[in-house]
Amino acid sequence: MSAEIPDRIKVLWFLPTHGDSRYLGTSEGGRAVDLDYLTQVAQAADTLGYYG
């Protein structure tokens, strides 16, 4: 049995418009979301080659 190994891993990302935190579904330890922060997240994901 053989399997193809992709050249690159595809990582899907999204903007955390609900807020950004270490814990899903809670604002504990969360960071407020504003346009500057969303821009920073999008630029970092783009620079790293993520898609979404």
Which helix (H) or strand (E) is 48 found in, with range? none
Task: Please name which of 17, 19, 39 lies closest in space to residue 28, comparing C-alpha atoms.
Answer: 19
Length of the chain equals 52
pLDDT tens, 15-29? 877 777 777 777 677
Q: How confident is the model over 29-34, as a mean pLDDT?
A: 80
Total number of domains constituting the chain: 1
Boundaries of domain holding 49: 1-52
Is-above-0.75 flag for pTM?
Answer: no
pLDDT tens, 36-50? 988 998 899 889 888
